[in-house]
Amino acid sequence: MNDTVKPTRITTVPRYGDQPADKLYLPAIYAGIKVTLGHFVRNVLDITAMETLEYPEEQPTDITSRYRGLHRLTHREDGSIRCVACFMCATACPAQCINIIATERTDGIDEKMPEIFAIDTLECVFCGMCVEACPCDAIRMDTGIFSVTGKTREDFVLQRDRLLSHTGAFETEQTRNKEASHD
């Protein structure tokens, strides 16, 4: 039986290029020149109306609290380090850029703390997996710092004390997983 099922949704793709005006191409050139010349004249007449940011005098305007900037290690209320060197962030990191060496904690709050906590920002892809993996809300990426400079490769490996010294850039911080902080 010749039962041809007609498809119910036929999308016709419009094909261009067969008209004489298309083949001549000069009308298309004219239309293109109108656009570019319009942009050019508009920008020449007032160059400060451009959306381009004059970095470094103008800093980016779209850094929000969700922006994944440089990492920071958080403190507890008494000032000690919150991280317990559980290695979950190092395991979760897809670029394997976190190096932790744990040591015994001396202030009796927990058992372990990181003696060496090094993040290689040259390897880091700023994905935020470490922040999601941490059970203690010890590492965050809300510093809002987007520019890291250095003269040698070693300058880009951030150690624990520098990470502790970074501060969060946003006032409305909610501490995640407060029950995990063993307070």
Partner 1 sequence: MTTAQILVTLGSIVLAALLALLMIPVLVWLERRVCGLIQDRPGPNRTNVFGFRLGGVVQSFADVVKLVTKEEYIPDHIRYGRWIFLLAPMITFASALLAFMVIPFADTVQVDGAALRIQGLPVSYGILWYLAIGSVGILGMVFGGWLSHNKYSLLGALRAAAQMISYELALGLGIISMILTYDTIDFNAMVQWQSGTFWGFIPAWGLFIQPFAAVIIIIALFVETNRAPFSVAEGESEIVAGFFTEYTAMKFAMYFMGEYVAMNTASAVIVTMFLGGYQLPWFSTAALLEHFRTVAGVLLLLVPVVMTLFILWMRRNNRVRLTLSTDGGRGRETRILTGVLIGTTLLIEAILLWLLLEPAGSIGASVAVPLLQIVIFVVKLMLVNLFIILIRWTLPRFRYDQVQVLGWRYLLPAALANLFVTSIIVAGVGS
Site string for partner 1, 25-64 (x = CB under 8 A): -x--x--xx-xxx-xx--xxxxxx-xxx-x--xx------
Residues 25 and 28: their CA atoms lie apart, in Å, by 5
Q: How many residues bind partner 1 (CB under 8 A)?
A: 21
In whole angstroms, the minimum distance from the beta carbon of 168 to partner 1 comes to 25
Residues 156 and 118: their CA atoms lie apart, in Å, by 10
What are 147's strand-pairing partners?
A: none
In whole angstroms, the minimum distance from the beta carbon of 23 to partner 1 comes to 9
Residues 97 and 156: their CA atoms lie apart, in Å, by 11
Residues 150 and 168: their CA atoms lie apart, in Å, by 22
In this complex, which beta carbon is closest to partner 1, that of residue 10 or of residue 31? 31
In whole angstroms, the minimum distance from the beta carbon of 59 to partner 1 comes to 11
The answer to the question of residue 21 lying near partner 1 (CB under 8 A) is no
In this complex, which beta carbon is closest to partner 1, that of residue 59 or of residue 96? 59
In whole angstroms, the minimum distance from the beta carbon of 58 to partner 1 comes to 6
Is the Cβ–Cβ distance between 93 and 166 less than 8 Å? no
Q: State both tokens at 69.
A: 């900037």
In this complex, which beta carbon is closest to partner 1, that of residue 10 or of residue 41? 41
Residues 66 and 143: their CA atoms lie apart, in Å, by 10
In whole angstroms, the minimum distance from the beta carbon of 50 to partner 1 comes to 6
Residues 82 and 168: their CA atoms lie apart, in Å, by 15
The residues of the shown chain that bind partner 1, judged by CB under 8 A, are 26, 29, 32-33, 35-37, 39-40, 43-48, 50-52, 54, 57-58
